C-alpha cells in the first residue's frame, strides 16, 4: 500500500510539472504569434478577444492534461 501511494504521488508531481511547463511554453508561443501579426489582422480580430481566447485555450488544454491521466 505504501509503494502504491509513493508511485501515485510521484506520478502526480511529474504530471503537474509537465503540465505547468507545457502550459507556459504554449502560452508563450501563442503570444509570440499574436505579437507577429500584422495590424489589419490584429484589429479585425479584436485584441482583447484574442487575448481572452488564448488564455482560455491554454487553460482548457491544461485542465485536459491534468484530468486525462
- The most confident of the ranges 3-7, 50-54, 57-61, 64-68 is 3-7
Rounded to whole angstroms, how far apart are CA atoms 50 and 35? Answer: 11
Q: Three cell numbers at 33?
A: 504569434
pLDDT (tens digit per residue) in 11-39: 889 988 888 888 888 888 888 888 888 88
Q: What is the dihedral of CA 51, 57, 61, 62, to 10 degrees?
A: 30
**pLDDT digit string, tens, across residues 32-60:** 888 888 888 878 878 788 888 888 888 88
Claim: this prediction has a pTM higher than 0.85:
no
* In the chain, where the domains are located: 18-67
Amino acid at each position: 500500500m505504501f509503494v502504491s501511494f509513493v508511485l501515485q504521488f510521484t506520478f502526480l508531481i511529474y504530471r503537474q510539472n509537465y503540465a505547468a511547463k507545457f502550459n507556459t511554453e504554449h502560452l508563450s508561443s501563442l503570444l509570440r504569434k499574436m505579437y507577429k501579426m500584422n495590424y489589419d489582422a490584429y484589429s479585425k480580430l479584436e485584441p482583447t478577444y484574442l487575448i481572452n481566447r488564448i488564455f482560455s485555450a491554454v487553460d482548457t488544454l491544461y485542465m485536459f492534461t491534468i484530468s486525462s491521466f
